């Protein structure tokens, strides 16, 4: 029986968009950008993906490293890395960046997305989930960066759009928060 490591280590279940993406993406070299303490990386690892998990927060990376050691996991590497550098050193079949882009320096977002494009193998996938700020739904949280309507779709012009939406959700306090979600495939 496969033990659910997310439950064993008190991690939340993987982001629903990561779970959905794994239904169509075959296990491959994968980058988890802004991995926190690893809820998505651990889930992906159990599915056989080979993951590099990066976050700027050393405490979060230490927690993930302790899980890796405890469970003898050989397909997750956890590293402290500042996404603002936009200088990834390897190529990946899948790059996942869920609820992280809004913490990036707004002046670096284009460079970060361009670097993700560059580091995605032909036929590989990018998943981004990021908060938006639009006239209809002003963002109630003061994130450093928020997307405008259509901005993420434009950034992926020329890629195959597997999924794109700009859905509005409701926070625990009732406030409305709009997110853009993209799953796109780089041309072969
Ligand atoms: C809301 S959490 C999302 C975690 C995870 N992606 C998920 O879906 O649960 C955002 C994460 O982004 C990380 N982060 C923020 N700015 C970053 C940066 N410049 N470079 C790398 N990670 C960053 C934070 O430390 C935090 O762990």
97, part of any domain? yes
Residue 81: per-residue pLDDT: 98
2, part of any domain? no
Pocket test for ligand 1, best of 18, 33, 34, 57 (most atoms within 8 A of CB): 34
From the list 82, 183, 182, the residue with the least C-alpha distance to 132 is 182
3, part of any domain? no
The CATH code of the domain that includes 42 is 3.40.50.150
pLDDT averaged over consecutive 10-residue blocks of the chain (188 residues)?
Answer: 87 96 97 98 97 98 98 98 98 98 98 98 98 95 96 98 95 88 97
129, part of any domain? yes
Query: 176 CB contacts (<8 Å, ≥6 apart)?
Result: 137, 140, 168, 169, 170
State the total domains in the chain. Answer: 1
**Rounded distance from Cα 103 to ligand 1 centre (Å):** 7
Which residue range is the domain that position 27 belongs to?
Answer: 15-185
Is the minimum distance from the CB of 38 to ligand 1 under 6 angstroms?
Answer: no
Residue 3: per-residue pLDDT: 84
Q: Where are the beta strands (DSSP E) in the chain?
A: 29-33, 50-55, 76-80, 92-98, 120-131, 160-170, 176-185
Residue 169: per-residue pLDDT: 87
99, part of any domain? yes
94, part of any domain? yes
Task: Name residue, tokens 């450093």.
Answer: 144
92, part of any domain? yes
Q: Exposed, middle or buried, 56 (CB in 10 Å: 0-12/13-18/19+)? A: middle
172 Cα distance to chain centroid: 22
12 Cα distance to chain centroid: 15
133, part of any domain? yes
């Amino acid at each position: 029986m496969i033990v659910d490591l997310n439950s064993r280590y008190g991690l939340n279940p993987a982001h629903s968009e990561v779970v959905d993406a794994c239904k169509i993406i075959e296990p491959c070299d994968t980058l988890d950008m802004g991995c926190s303490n690893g809820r998505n990386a651990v889930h992906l690892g159990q599915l056989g993906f080979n993951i590099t998990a990066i976050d700027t927060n050393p405490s979060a990376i230490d927690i993930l490293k302790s899980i890796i050691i405890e469970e003898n996991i050989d397909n997750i590497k956890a590293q402290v890395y500042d996404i603002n550098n936009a200088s990834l050193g390897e190529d990946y079949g899948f790059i996942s960046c869920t609820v992280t882009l809004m913490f990036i320096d707004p002046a670096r977002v284009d460079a970060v997305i361009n670097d993700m494009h560059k580091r995605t193998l032909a036929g590989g996938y990018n998943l981004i989930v990021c908060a938006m700020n639009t006239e209809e739904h002003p963002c109630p949280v003061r994130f450093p960066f928020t997307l405008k309507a259509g901005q993420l779709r434009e950034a992926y012009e020329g890629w195959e759009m597997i999924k794109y939406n700009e859905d509005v959700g409701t926070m625990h306090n009732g406030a409305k928060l709009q997110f853009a979600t993209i799953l796109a495939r780089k041309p072969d």
